[in-house]
């Protein structure tokens, strides 16, 4: 599955998200996304207590889900955005 990986700066802290363009929302889908996060960030940065499942709205990504989480330093595989489009 192709993942969309983005990050942004909010109140002096970096946050990242991983999502797909698909409308998947099964546990396996989220576990696969979590596995992808673990490939991109070291274990000491991946804290499951700080990962949020987010439902997106807006014209472009309406109805999709993703995982949002705080990061220390952005990974080069992630695209910088000003902020997530719209969350529900």
- Long-range (24+ apart) CB contacts under 8 A made by 42-45 are 45/71, 45/72
The answer as to whether 84 is a domain residue is no
18-37 pLDDT, tens digit per residue, is 998 888 889 999 999 999 99
The answer as to whether 78 is a domain residue is no
42-79 pLDDT, tens digit per residue, is 988 899 999 999 988 777 777 789 999 999 999 999 99
The answer as to whether 80 is a domain residue is no
Give me the pLDDT at residue 84, please.
83
Query: What domain count does the chain have?
Result: 1
Q: For residue 88, is pLDDT > 60? A: no
Alpha-carbon distance of 81 to 66, in angstroms, equals 15
Range of the domain at 23: 4-73
The answer as to whether 25 is a domain residue is yes
Q: Report the percent of the chain where pLDDT is more than 70.
A: 95
Query: What pTM does this model have?
Result: 0.88
């Amino acid at each position: 599955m192709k993942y969309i990986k983005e990050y942004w700066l909010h109140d002096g802290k970096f946050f990242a998200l991983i999502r797909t363009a698909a409308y998947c929302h099964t546990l396996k889908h989220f576990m696969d996304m979590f596995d992808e996060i673990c490939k991109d960030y070291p274990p000491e940065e991946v804290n499951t207590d700080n990962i949020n499942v987010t439902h997106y709205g807006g014209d472009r990504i309406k109805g999709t889900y993703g995982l949002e989480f705080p990061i220390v330093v952005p990974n080069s595989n992630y695209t910088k955005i000003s902020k997530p489009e719209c969350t529900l």
